[in-house]
């Protein structure tokens, strides 16, 4: 799914209208999509308090109020005081609700009368077109609304957020439990500084012009199931273990064998045909007894001191590796002699950062840093928007794939495109989850998935398995090994 800028969304609306649907009917379609979702997710006894601005987002709110009332819901509409100049379509829908005696219209100043029991607040104040700071009267209103302990819904985007840029620190933003957005994710939904205001996001298809959407250019995308199903390759019946590649997972050190064990196990669960683990001898018994399907290659006693080069294999290096001197030398020697794409994670990245050796990374390789590891590699940024832009530049400069791990992990390609992942959850914020991802990626690339497609599929698969683990065990109790054991369920759902 493409992510468009606010300006591109406006042009998409215009293109849709030019194809024959009037702007007022497009507003009706958007409002109906919201009302259908509300009807499915809330009780008939709920009372809806709808706060409307003067633009088209407010017009959506007026239309939602009318449709909810027609379905039997109790509705109140709140507007600002004074001589309000509504947009043309907002004015049309405002006049419609003024003719309905059962819909009370109140002013923002009257929210002190709100009866919180069974109430639901709907934010239809500004929408994606916000391009300036909120005035003090809207700040005060939103601060009051945020303090009312009832469910809150934002229409299109929470008021106070921009569609595609960062907000200033300590900005006033409506804190939604649910955001009902139209046709596209906004970039602000996908970054930690801004996405925390959005709650659960539902993208409503309102049938905007498909030709425009197909033709418009963007560097930003959301990884959705439709894209994943295009990438996924079911296993052919007439195949053998050699068909599905050779994965070599490299890592582990005394006390950190579990990390490379999880990488190895996840590679096998993802379908690797032949799987090897290169680790210190102290991990031999643990790995052989826990994962008999993988072959063990010893290197050093407590710390890895050599990485054996095997052709026609894909290497995933870093989980539990440690940063001992002999391990660093082994990594540098390997990188100087091996020029095929590899996956680098964890301590492998930290070793490169501490020694300023990022230029040793082979072209088309994949690195998987979390924000702190990324900072060590490439420098500090002010916020996650800047971090993505720096990652685009570095991916293009080094001709590598950067998987920037975060709440919404982003895949950044060598041609500076960004694919945001929306599977996964906070239960995966535990040591070991990244080691699992390394194994998944190594396995997919060894199975001859194109590297870009392997990255996109891999982060989605990782997050989806995490969602299934959280559903069964809870976010608090789920473990990275639970995630590994859910990989099979995800494959079953795809096939």
pLDDT at 113: 64
Q: What is the pLDDT of residues 14-52, one digit of tens each?
A: 999 999 999 999 999 999 999 999 999 999 999 999 999
Residue linked to tokens 């449709």 = 67
Q: Which of 438, 420, 433, 431 is nearest to 469 (CA)?
A: 433
pTM of the model as a whole: 0.95
404: left (phi over 0), alpha (psi -120 to 50) or beta: beta
Say how far apart CA 75 and CA 46 lie, in whole Å. 9
pLDDT at 232: 97
Q: Which helix (H) or strand (E) holds 126?
A: none
Domains of the chain (ranges; CATH) run: 6-218 (3.40.50.10260), 229-494 (3.40.1190.20)
pLDDT at 30: 97
Specify whether the CB–CB gap between 183 and 8 falls below 8 A.
Answer: no
Say how far apart CA 5 and CA 164 lie, in whole Å. 6
pLDDT per residue as tens, the chain (495 positions): 999 999 999 999 999 999 999 999 999 999 999 999 999 999 999 999 999 999 999 999 999 999 999 999 999 999 999 878 999 999 999 999 999 999 999 999 888 766 677 899 999 999 887 888 899 999 999 999 999 999 999 999 999 999 999 999 899 999 999 999 999 999 999 999 999 999 999 999 999 999 999 999 999 999 999 999 999 999 888 777 777 899 999 999 999 999 999 999 999 999 999 999 999 999 999 999 999 999 999 999 999 999 999 989 999 999 999 999 999 999 999 999 999 999 999 999 999 999 999 999 999 999 999 999 999 999 999 999 999 999 999 999 999 999 999 999 999 999 999 999 999 999 999 999 999 999 999 999 999 999 999 999 999 999 999 999 999 999 999 999 999 999 999 999 998
pLDDT at 377: 98
pLDDT at 432: 97
Say how far apart CA 292 and CA 111 lie, in whole Å. 65
pLDDT at 376: 97
pLDDT at 400: 98
Specify whether the CB–CB gap between 469 and 295 falls below 8 A.
Answer: no
């Amino acid at each position: 799914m493409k992510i468009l800028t606010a300006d591109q969304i406006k042009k998409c609306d215009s293109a849709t209208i030019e194809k024959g649907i009037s702007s007022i009917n497009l507003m009706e379609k958007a409002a109906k999509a919201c009302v259908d979702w509300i009807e499915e997710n809330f009780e008939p006894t709920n009372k809806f308090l709808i706060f409307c601005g003067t633009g088209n987002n407010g017009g959506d709110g007026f239309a939602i109020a009318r449709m909810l009332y027609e379905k039997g819901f109790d509705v109140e509409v709140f507007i600002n005081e004074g001589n309000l100049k509504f947009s043309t379509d907002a004015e049309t829908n405002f006049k419609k609700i003024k003719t309905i005696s059962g819909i009370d219209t109140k002013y923002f100043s009257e929210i002190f009368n709100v009866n919180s029991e069974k109430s639901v607040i709907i934010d239809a104040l500004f929408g994606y077109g916000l391009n300036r700071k909120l005035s003090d009267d809207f700040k005060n209103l939103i601060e009051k609304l945020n303090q009312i302990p009832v469910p809150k819904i934002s229409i299109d985007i929470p008021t106070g957020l921009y569609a595609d840029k960062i907000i200033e620190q300590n900005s006033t933003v409506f804190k939604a439990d649910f955001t009902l957005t139209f046709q596209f994710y906004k970039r602000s939904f996908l970054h930690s500084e801004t996405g925390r205001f959005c709650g659960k996001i539902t993208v409503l298809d309102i049938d905007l012009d498909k030709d425009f959407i197909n033709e418009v250019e963007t560097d930003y995308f959301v990884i959705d199931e439709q894209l994943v199903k295009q990438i996924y390759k079911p296993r052919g019946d007439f195949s053998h273990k050699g068909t599905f590649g050779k994965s070599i997972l490299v890592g582990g050190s005394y006390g950190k064998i579990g990390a490379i064990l999880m990488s190895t196990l996840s590679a096998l669960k993802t379908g690797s045909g032949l799987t090897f683990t290169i680790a210190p001898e102290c991990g031999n018994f643990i790995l052989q007894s826990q994962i008999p399907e993988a072959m063990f290659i010893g290197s050093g006693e407590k710390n890895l001191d050599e990485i054996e080069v095997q052709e026609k294999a894909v290497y995933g290096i870093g989980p539990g590796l440690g940063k001992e001197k002999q391990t660093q030398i082994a990594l540098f020697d390997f990188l100087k002699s091996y020029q095929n794409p590899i996956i680098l994670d964890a301590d492998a990245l930290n070793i490169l950062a501490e020694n300023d050796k990022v230029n040793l990374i082979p072209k088309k390789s994949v690195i998987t840093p979390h924000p702190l590891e990324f900072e060590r590699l490439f420098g500090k940024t002010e916020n996650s928007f800047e971090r993505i832009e720096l990652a685009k530049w570095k991916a293009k400069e080094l001709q590598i794939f950067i998987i920037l791990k975060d709440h919404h992990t982003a895949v950044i390609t060598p041609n500076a495109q960004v694919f945001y992942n929306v599977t996964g959850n906070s239960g995966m914020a535990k040591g070991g989850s990244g080691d699992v991802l390394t194994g998944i990626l190594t396995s997919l690339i060894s199975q001859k998935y194109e590297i870009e497609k392997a990255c996109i599929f891999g982060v989605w698969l990782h997050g989806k398995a995490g969602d299934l683990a959280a559903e069964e065990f809870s976010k608090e109790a789920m473990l990275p090994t639970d995630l590994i054991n859910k990989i099979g369920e995800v494959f079953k759902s795809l096939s």
